[in-house]
Amino acid sequence: MTWKTLDDMDFAGKRALVRVDINVPVENGVVTDTSRIERIAATVDDIQAKGGKVILMAHFGRPKGQVVPEMSLEIIAPAVSDVLGLPVTFVNGDYAEAVAEMDEGDVLLLENLRFNPGEEKNDEGFAKRLASLADIYVNDAFSAAHRAHASTEAIARLLPACAGRLMAEELGALEKALGSPERPVVAVVGGAKVSTKLDLLGNLVGKVDHLVIGGGMANTFLAAQGINVGKSLCEHDLADTARDILTKAEAAGCEIILPRDIVIAREFKANAQNETVAATQCPDDAMIFDAGPETVAYINDVVDGAKTLIMNGPLGVFELEPFHAGTFAILNEIADQTKAGKLVSVGGGGDTVAAINASGHGDDFTYISTAGGAFLEWMEGKELPGVAALG
């Protein structure tokens, strides 16, 4: 799929309505993490450099179509101004009047889109009101691209539309990872439950050469093959589904990699007494907390031979020492191969980003997506309305 970018648009003297994701954490009225704001700077800078006027629109929290004062973007406006290094005018009231008074280089921030019930209903009337403020629509919020909302989907049909720098960077990285990747391709998928990632696994077995399954999900696959997993987190009712995925993978020529050895403990706490045993030897009273060294060594061999890797989820309970060992070991290998120029690596999803950062490799992947649900739906092979609308 192709989409227009900022380079395809003439912003001189034009008003650009830019959908961004600045849904940042706030404590006691203060923004505690500005990374999402930092990522929109390139788009704002570019539009301004081309002589455009920037009107930012975003959501904050889940007000469900109601005005909720503590979810007003007025709280975030000072942080946006600080990060961008320029005055940002918050507008809550007559948008049209504020836009009419804009000079070249001005930046406005509109009130929380989700205060209007028309936003999440993808209401064309609300989209038209927004569109009337501008000449060009820019979507720089990939993280909201899986939602067909007025500010992501309906509006793209009403104005000349393009992807912002962050959106274009994200789409480019994802295209490299799964759209037209260099092979062999490895996917690492972890997490607690198979049930939340059925669509993902079903899509990946037809697209990748090796699929590593870790975390609680791996337990469900082991149990489906008749292997005892003791008291481990496991969805025994999904045994048939797991076997079906294994069959599909075999037919597609995709190797599914499950734990060969496991790290077990009897208490769910940091530094719990633990031991490493074969995957087939989990005692009835034990829980599986991590993949063992033999498994990790095999995964790292596969990573060494790969050209493309995509990761969504850890191998074990990485939040508790020493059960981070398996996840960190493969992250070290992915980082080394990426830095050596041998691997294109893309990671995404909350736990994945947390594990990558905890391992000290936040800057060592080719691309790290913070888009959450949109990243997962893209991996599942679903069309994202906010992306499709730009095509």
Q: Among all residues, which ones are annotated catalytic? A: 36, 193, 350, 373
Phi first, then psi: give them for residue 218, nearest 5 degrees. Answer: -60, -35
DSSP code, position 176:
I
For CA atoms 12, 17, 21, 22, give the dihedral sign.
Answer: positive
Q: Is 344 exposed, middle or buried (0-12, 13-18, 19+ CB in 10 A)?
A: buried
CA dist 317 and 290 (Å) reads 6
Phi first, then psi: give them for residue 141, nearest 5 degrees. Answer: -120, 75
* Amino acid code (one letter) for 142: F
CA dist 170 and 176 (Å) reads 10
CA dist 202 and 217 (Å) reads 14
Distances in Å between the alpha carbon of 198 and those of 193, 299, 370? 9, 22, 21
CA dist 221 and 242 (Å) reads 6
CA dist 265 and 348 (Å) reads 29
> Among all chains, which residue has been given the structure tokens 């060009």?
136
Phi first, then psi: give them for residue 332, nearest 5 degrees. Answer: -60, -45
